[in-house]
Amino acid sequence: VAPAKLPDEFTLIARYFRPLTAGAEAALDLADDAALLDIPSGHRLVVTADALVAGVHFFAEDAPDLIARKMLRVNLSDLAAMAAVPLGYVMICAFPKTIDQTWLAGFVAGLARDQAEFGIRLLGGDTTATPGPLSLSVTAFGSVETGRELRRSGARAGDLVAVSGTIGDSALGLARLQGKIAEFIGDEELIERYLLPQPRLALARRLIGLATAAMDVSDGLAGDLGHICNASHLSASIEAAKIPLSKPARHLLAERPDLLATILTGGEDYELLFTVPPERQSELAGLPVTVIGRMEAGQGANVLDLEGRRIDTGEGGYRHF
């Protein structure tokens, strides 16, 4: 059976995209010129945008449902970084001729699954053909109580630097998929972290009024800590030995100490990096977070090795250009 080519745009919307708007009055059944969204009184709109291009951000042969779910989660992580409650998203799809209805059905199933998991709905978008690779753009919306949002600025000298979950798993998982790391027992956990990040939405809400600065770790811990330093006009020192690692990451690092650079700068962790006043450290008890360092006067982020020597993390972050 030949794969079914994509139908015309109106059929495409009716068959695949309109069902994703079910329950979202704001989407107006994708039948009007725009979406109409109510923002709760006393709240601000939080807006984030991300592009995903096949061959740049994911492999064209990746499972379509996982592409969809990772796309949503990356955006949800940006909303979490500001402690927003997700509202919905608009999506722009540029489909090459190679995309057929089987692929699209898998992609939409992935969207539907994570919509249900995170309580969001498709609100609008646009679809076009492209002679280039599959390209996806999402603009995601959330709301946050006015003035209560978490920002990258606001850290104070002496504040503790903390991070959620474990760091480096996603970058190691990608290295594993690329064959830069040999197969080993437990590698699925790392690959899973690369393919399906977990946005820290609930944790972020717990940090409102507690964290003085926050962001999500997408470009690599070292580089992203630099962003908090810049935004807060401070320096920071974190200790490599305190960075929380998963069991497979610890195993790998013991065998290959050179992988510390991958862990520090690989990115796509989608964990929260944040600062808290030292006198409030006890309020972190019970949360899946680890204190890894401290904010200081000065500028730039320092990562210290076991002997307290500064590690050069170079540009410290993944850059597209």
C-alpha distances (whole Å) from 11 to each of 26, 64, 137, 197, 232 are 21, 20, 21, 32, 50
How far apart are CB 36 and a copy of itself at their closest, in Å? 5
How far apart are CB 294 and a copy of itself at their closest, in Å? 22
- Nearer of residues 126 and 255 to a copy of itself, judged by Cβ: 126
- Nearer of residues 63 and 92 to a copy of itself, judged by Cβ: 92
The residues binding a copy of itself (CB under 8 A) are 6-10, 12, 28, 31-39, 41, 44-51, 53, 55-57, 78-79, 81-82, 84, 90-94, 123-133, 135, 137, 139, 141-142, 144, 146, 149, 151-153, 215-216, 227, 230-231, 319-321
The Cβ-side half-sphere exposure at 116, using a 13 Å CA radius, reads 6
- DSSP per-residue letters across 184-211: -TTHHHHHHHHHS----HHHHHHTTTT-
How far apart are CB 87 and a copy of itself at their closest, in Å? 9
How far apart are CB 274 and a copy of itself at their closest, in Å? 12
- Nearer of residues 92 and 287 to a copy of itself, judged by Cβ: 92
- Nearer of residues 41 and 178 to a copy of itself, judged by Cβ: 41
CB of 160 closer than 8 Å to CB of 127: no
Which stretch of DSSP H or E encloses residue 68? Answer: helix 64-81
How far apart are CB 215 and a copy of itself at their closest, in Å? 6
- Nearer of residues 73 and 227 to a copy of itself, judged by Cβ: 227
- DSSP per-residue letters across 75-136: HHHHHHHTTPEEEEEEEEEEE-TT-BHHHHHHHHHHHHHHHHHHT-EEEEEEEEE-SSS-EE
